[in-house]
Copies of this chain bind each other. A is one copy, B any other.
Amino acid sequence: MSRKVTIQDLAEQLKLTTGTVSRALNNHPRISDSTKKTVLELAEKLNYRPNRLASSLRLGKTNIIGVIIPSAEINFFGSVVHGIESLASTYGYNILLYQSNESEQYEQKAIETFTDVRVDGILASIAKNTHDFSHYLNLRNKGIPLVFFDRSQDMLNIPAVLVDDFKGGYIATEHLLKQGYKRVAHISGQQHLKIFRDRLNGYLAALQAAGITPDETLIYSGSVSIQSGKDAMEYFTGLTNPPDAIFAVEDFTALGVIKAAKEKNIRIPEQLGIIGFANESFDEHISPALSSIDQQTVQMGKEAFALLLKLMDDKKNDGLKKINVILEPLLQVRQSSMVLKSQG
């Protein structure tokens, strides 16, 4: 196990000082071409590699950013992390990953770790069980830039990259109407969460834009689960005037609808159109394939890093300015709502 070669070693062999060698290695303007050349050559020959700990300690910059996600096991976040890391590495940044497991306590530990390691910035998606946000707010005093993605908290006034859930609800509903469905229902999510309220409001707005007065009996208060979709179907089929299409708040809810429809021998999309939200990977593999709203996860990661980079670059701002990046939700049409194609 060979001892690591340091700037010191290079300097001694070349009868130079460490300062000069450092300048040569870092392409300093005032250094002769000849010494630069010899230094680089010897460095190459001896397999010299800089010690980033040392330079980080000296410079006060690590080129590492901390990323907090609820769980790497959740597709959505894996995908966002993919986006973050891809862009970050092209800028010479590395990712320190921490999972919150949806717990406030882990989140605090993550931030403590990150500040101890002196990361240059932090990207985070807030844990579901976080109620006290002081650990996030404290980052401002410490001068560590922070950007939220996917899950944010408006009142904190911290930059975030989000999907436009209102618009998502709008285009999902609009799509069903354009397909010719007349009575479009909605299975909503827990209303204390803003994203679900937004989707509901998007639904309502799309109806109104089409000159349709929302029918309260067509809005089922559900949640994100297969069971919720099944329950909703139980309710809807019991109506004297049932819907002919459903916009479900999330793909798993939509999946429940599909399962229930099959049991009840209701044909999709002929008798009932259905669209979900999230564009889960199973959507295209079930039958009928499920239409959905894509949340641009990879792009979200890239935008989040890009925004963080901006904040890290110009410290004057240091996060005081509230900048939000809102991503467009994308309509992904598949069999479950494709009236024309399915007749062929």
Contact = CB atoms under 8 A, between A and B. Distances in A.
Interface of A: 1-2, 49-54, 56-57, 62, 64, 71-75, 77-79, 81-82, 85-86, 89, 94-99, 101, 106, 109, 112-113, 115-118, 141-143, 255, 262, 281-282, 285-287, 298, 318
Contacts of A52: 116-118
A113 B53 CA distance: 12
Contacts of A98: 85, 89, 94-95
20 contacts: A49-B115, A51-B116, A51-B118, A53-B53, A53-B57, A72-B72, A72-B79, A74-B78, A75-B281, A78-B81, A82-B99, A86-B99, A86-B101, A89-B98, A89-B99, A94-B96, A94-B113, A95-B96, A97-B97, A282-B285
Contacts of A82: 71-73, 99
B2 A298 contact: no
A2 to B, nearest CB: 6
A86 B286 CA distance: 32
A31 to B, nearest CB: 22
Contacts of A106: 89
A53 B97 contact: no
A72 B53 CA distance: 26
Contacts of A143: 1
A275 to B, nearest CB: 16
